[in-house]
Structure 1
Amino acid sequence: MNRIRELLLGLATLISFAAAHGDTALYPTGPSRDSAFIRFVNALDSPLDVLPEGEQTPSTLAPSVVSVFSAVPADKPVTGVLSSAGVSVPVKLNLAPGEFVTFVVVPGDKGFELLTVREQPKDFNGLQASLALINADPDCTGGGLRRAGRKEQPIFHDLNPGLLERRDVNPVKLSVQGFCDGTLVTAPLSLGPLESGERYTVLILSQNGKPVLVFVKDAFAQ
């Protein structure tokens, strides 16, 4: 099996296990190879099929599932086909060393669209928690996040679709609401007590035509 086919077989395994809430490596990387990190989000109302190159068995990612991050070799293309509700889109991604990529499949005029959200993470204060917001709702301009029931300065603001912003926050119990163009559009969501030294992500997604918040702790495959 060549490298690309092996990569896509690993990708299919990741998606299958992520849907079942398990962790697995996307691709075998050794300590001598520069790595990047990739995860997948199905923001559709229907299952998402991941079709590897060749004749491997397809895998399915359930709606609203966010996979773990898995290491992949940097500067090597990830290729394949994503399919949902009869619509198929070819995929080819090149990742830089150390880069974190969240690949979000969102509703679109032709069935679905792909948002590739890239991040070059920086060191953060280990006494705080690292919180990111990804705006993955194509209809949400000026997206942001604020503390529920508070009128203080937002945690994030002016974030257009496909963009990510990250900041350090105090490790406290936090409840938030999402907004678009200054108008609150989601129900409050409790993030629970955040932990020092951990990374988290909140996503604004569109479900049944309405913005919702999805929260995950940034987990890494073993």
Structure 2
Amino acid sequence: MKNPLILLALAATLSATAADAAEVPLYETGPAEDSSFVRFVNGGQQPLEIVATGSNARLTLDTAKPASDFLPIRAGKPIEGALVRGGAKRNVSVTVQPGEFASVVGLDDAAGGLRTVVVHEQPDDFNALKASVAFYNLDAQCASAALLAAGRNIVLLDQVPEGQSKRRQINPVPLSVQLSCAGQAVGQPLDLGTLEAGQRYTVFLVPAGKQSRIFQATDTVAR
């Protein structure tokens, strides 16, 4: 049963499925020129609540499902709301351009509060025979951040400035990735499973106290 999700709109109402959204490959036929999408991501380890401005709609993200699906919105129109974790709250206003995909990420700050980072992507590399993997760097304390193929010392993605992303196409094979900071492996490998042709994935690098960690989300569009 669908759970209506009215999200962060100025003069727009969005319906999405929170518990029952279809696993639709992102850009299955390439992005439509006038389509725009936004998703919300919990970059911390405690539950994060997204509250829509002007409505009672709420969405909770936790470590089991840290990222929402991409939700269609009106291009060029700001959407507003708040991210809430415990007693910390951060208001957000995001404008997404035509053909663009934006990720609003809630992160813990050094003082125990909450901060947000918005990463915009407008990729044009769709290939139905390949999988696509992105690396979002949201952690300033990981110097020379890189994502390696675990156990093979092969660099998949590197030289991504903080607050930005990089994406590449990969053969649809089983893949585990290893975070590297300043040339040293950090944490345990992250198993992405068997990648699917035509599907897109994102690996997020976020701070975890004095350490760094990575987690992944499959890029899907809400039905």
What's the TM-score, normalizing by structure 1?
Answer: 0.81
1:164 is paired with a residue whose SS is strand
In the alignment, which residue of structure 2 is the partner of 1:124? 126
Distance in 2, matches of 1:155 and 1:5, equals: 41
In the alignment, which residue of structure 2 is the partner of 1:56? 56
8 Å contact 2:135–2:166 — kept in the other structure? Answer: yes
Distance in 1, matches of 2:191 and 2:21, equals: 25
Q: Which moved more, 1:176-185 or 1:132-141?
A: 132-141
The structure 1 residue matched to 2:21, chosen from 20, 23, 41, is 23
1:159 partner letter: V
1:22 partner letter: D
* CA deviation map 1:129-180 (0-9, x unaligned): 111111223422321111112233x111122321110011112111210112
8 Å contact 1:141–1:159 — kept in the other structure? Answer: no
Q: CA RMSD in A?
A: 2.6
Question: Cα distance, 1:124 vs. partner?
Answer: 2.9
Distance in 1, matches of 2:141 and 2:20, equals: 32
Distance in 2, matches of 1:33 and 1:194, equals: 27
* CA deviation map 1:76-122 (0-9, x unaligned): 10111222221222111111001011111111134121111110110
Unmatched tracts of structure 1, length 5 or more: 25-31
Q: How does 1:135-214 map to 2 (within 5 A)?
A: 135-152=137-154, 154-207=155-208, 209-214=210-215
8 Å contact 2:10–2:80 — kept in the other structure? Answer: yes
In the alignment, which residue of structure 2 is the partner of 1:77? 78
Question: Cα distance, 1:216 vs. partner?
Answer: 2.3
8 Å contact 2:33–2:98 — kept in the other structure? Answer: no
The 3 A distance-change label for structure 1 pair 42 and 162 is same
Question: Cα distance, 1:69 vs. partner?
Answer: 0.8
1:192 is paired with a residue whose SS is strand
8 Å contact 2:12–2:74 — kept in the other structure? Answer: no
Q: Which moved more, 1:70-79 or 1:82-91?
A: 82-91
Q: Percent identity between the aligned chains?
A: 35
In the alignment, which residue of structure 1 is the partner of 2:35? 35
Distance in 2, matches of 1:191 and 1:53, equals: 35
In the alignment, which residue of structure 1 is the partner of 2:28? none
8 Å contact 2:137–2:145 — kept in the other structure? Answer: yes
8 Å contact 1:53–1:79 — kept in the other structure? Answer: yes
Distance in 1, matches of 2:156 and 2:177, equals: 9
* CA deviation map 1:20-51 (0-9, x unaligned): x4328xxxxxxx99220111111123222222
Distance in 2, matches of 1:157 and 1:60, equals: 31
The 3 A distance-change label for structure 1 pair 158 and 56 is same
Distance in 2, matches of 1:146 and 1:123, equals: 21
8 Å contact 1:126–1:197 — kept in the other structure? Answer: yes
In the alignment, which residue of structure 2 is the partner of 1:28? none
8 Å contact 2:66–2:217 — kept in the other structure? Answer: no
Q: Does 1:87 align with 2:85?
A: no
Distance in 2, matches of 1:54 and 1:176, equals: 41
Question: Cα distance, 1:209 vs. partner?
Answer: 4.4
What's the TM-score, normalizing by structure 2?
Answer: 0.81
Q: Does 1:221 align with 2:222?
A: yes
The 3 A distance-change label for structure 1 pair 126 and 58 is closer
In the alignment, which residue of structure 1 is the partner of 2:10? 4
Q: How many residues align?
A: 205
